Structure 1
Amino acid sequence: MTLAYIIVATLLGGLLSVLIAAQLTLSVLGRLVKSLVSLSAGVLLGTALLNVLPEAFEDATDSHGLFLTLLVGLLFFFLLEKAELYRHGHHHEGDDPHHHHHHGFDAEQAGKGGWTVLLGDSIHNFCDGIIIAAAFLSDPQLGLVTALAVILHEIPQEVGDYIVLLNAGFSRGRALLYNALSGLASVVGGVVGYLVVEPWKPLFPYLLVIAASSFIYVAVADLLPQLQRRLSLRATLAQLGWLAAGLGLVLLATRTLHHH
């Protein structure tokens, strides 16, 4: 039954964002991404700091080892970002008036890196699948909260990737298809995680800390910097509102699950 939960959770995380992108126009997608970035930042930070890390430290006695794992995890994701395999920008044509490039520059750049985006996204999704599997095997309630965090994070990321692929010259159909195939890597990661991780239950606290380091790094190094722009008071309040909504969603999910 646990494996079924893992497959459903990873499948939703991989395909839900693609279905959303398929129904919306580019202008709507552009506005949607900005709101979802704030929401997912709150969800990731809330999940990591209020659920995953407390669970990891509760089940382990080696706190120094866990903090070392957290440090190594943050450095690991930093190095993956350096290799352009973990994180990639959601920049698309004309989204920043301060970029003084000729028209079509973004398409040229995205065209060179379109396949790299798909490769990096597939690796990212595979890792997310392993993280979800480890969380479910540790505690089904923690697995549900972790899956929620991954799903909400995947939506703005995959929508952003879809925009990048369109600028790279992919047709709408091809961009959606390749994004969907990339999303299925999370299902593969979930199954592999279930088969490989279960025999190593003493390692669960360390795997949970690695998951938390992934969430924290993405939120702090990727999402929050996108929000640090000079905005009107109304736009700033909207950002804070979406961020608070993300935190509130995590707290609500945690309380609801603990009452069942």
Structure 2
Amino acid sequence: MINWFTGLDPVFQALLATLFTWFVTALGSALVFVFKTINKKVLNGMLGFAAGVMIAASFWSLLEPSIEMAEQSGTPAWLPAVVGFLAGGAFLWTVDKVIPHLHIGTPTDKAEGVKTGWQRSVLLVLAITLHNIPEGLAVGVAFGAIAANLPSASLAGAIALALGIGLQNFPEGAAVSIPLRREGLSRTKSFLYGQASGIVEPIAGVIGAIAVIGMKSILPYALSFAAGAMIYVVVEELIPESQLERKSDIATIGAMIGFAVMMFLDVALG
């Protein structure tokens, strides 16, 4: 099975990997057929877990390879990491200000982005969709990096990243669909909206892979760009949302576990 996957084009590998992460999002969304509500502590733990995975992935799977690639090419090691990281954060900041979206548990009049008359359910889905852009991009860039034949880019590392993103997508899918059910949508609509939030990952993944294959010189910058975008999501949204409750131990423990799981996957497999 691995040999078959190894022989595929990196762009196709990126597509398959991000289709997997989208599929796991759909599995998480399918929990809406079992549960109508979700305990707030459980939701906070899920958000914390997702934050931990994304923080670990940002360093082990993205920033560290970016620094290594810069060193191998003779570029100052810090340059691509710093420039790309800040550019990724700036990109997400811009998108955050433009695309209308609404965070879970927030009144409709507190929606962010440009003002619109879109339904509350659509705004809730768009908030999670924004999370998935850097996740899909990160996986795509990781697989695209394999085509550069650099020692710091490996198929095992890219697969580990896809597995980690997939793991945190399961609770993320549930964190979309179950609140939508509580908002009054049918189970089917809640599921469809929930899984739809992950569709952007294959799109971003393919774009990321094609970009770095076509312009190998930008690869270290692309890796750190994806890291910066993910850290922006963690600091701007995941951690604050998971810490709204007075007792935030569950969210903190979830973040620690998520970080440890992603670190294990990357170090053990990568």
Report the TM-score when normalising by structure 2. Answer: 0.75
Q: For residues 229 and 184 of structure 1, what CA distance do their matches in structure 2 show?
A: 28
Q: For 1:110 and 1:15, how far apart are their aligned partners in 2? A: 30
Does structure 2 retain, via aligned residues, the 8 Å contact 1:110–1:164? no
Map 1:118-129 onto structure 2 (within 5 A): 118-119=125-126, 121-122=128-129, 125=132, 127-129=134-136
Q: 1:210 to 1:160 in 2, by over 3 A?
A: same
Q: In the alignment, residue 226 of structure 1 is paired with which amino acid?
A: E
SS at match of 1:247: helix
Q: CA deviation at 1:74?
A: 1.3
> Which residue number corresponds to residue 103 of structure 2?
89
Contact 1:135 1:143 in 2 (8 A): yes
Selected match of 2:230 from 196, 212, 215: 215
Letter in 2 for 1:224: I
Structure 2 residue aligned with 1:137, among 136, 144, 163? 144
2-structure distance, mates of 1:91, 1:120: 12
Pair 1:247-2:259 in alignment? yes
Moved over 6 A (4+): none
Whole-Å separation in 2 of the counterparts to 1:191 and 1:197: 10
Q: Which residue of the partner structure matches residue 191 of structure 2?
A: 176
Identity among equivalent positions (%) equals: 22
Q: Gapped runs of 5+ residues in structure 2?
A: 1-7, 146-152
Report what 2:27 is aligned to: 19
* Structure 1, gaps ≥5 residues long: 93-98
Q: Check whether the contact 2:92–2:229 (CA below 8 A) recurs between aligned residues.
A: yes
Q: TM-score, normalised by structure 1?
A: 0.77
* C-alpha contact (below 8 Å) 1:21/1:29 kept by paired residues: no
Report the count of equivalent residues. Answer: 242
Once superposed, what is the RMSD of the aligned Cα atoms?
3.2
Supply the distance in 2 between the matched residues of 1:230 and 1:200 (Cα, whole angstroms): 45
Separation (CA, whole Å) in 2 of partners of 1:110 and 1:248: 41
Q: Do the aligned partners of residues 81 and 155 (structure 1) sit closer, same or farther apart at CA in structure 2, a change above 3 Å counting?
A: farther
Say if 1:49 and 1:114 are closer, same or farther in 2 by CA, change over 3 A. same
State the Cα distance separating 1:240 from its structure 2 match: 3.2
Deviation, structure 1 residue 53: 0.6
Contact 2:30 2:174 in 1 (8 A): no
Change (3 A) 1:88 1:197: farther
Q: Give me the whole-angstrom Cα distance separating, in 2, the residues matched to 1:185 and 1:59.
A: 28
What is the match of residue 120 of structure 2?
Answer: 113
Q: Choose the corresponding residue for 2:59, options 49, 60, 65.
A: 49
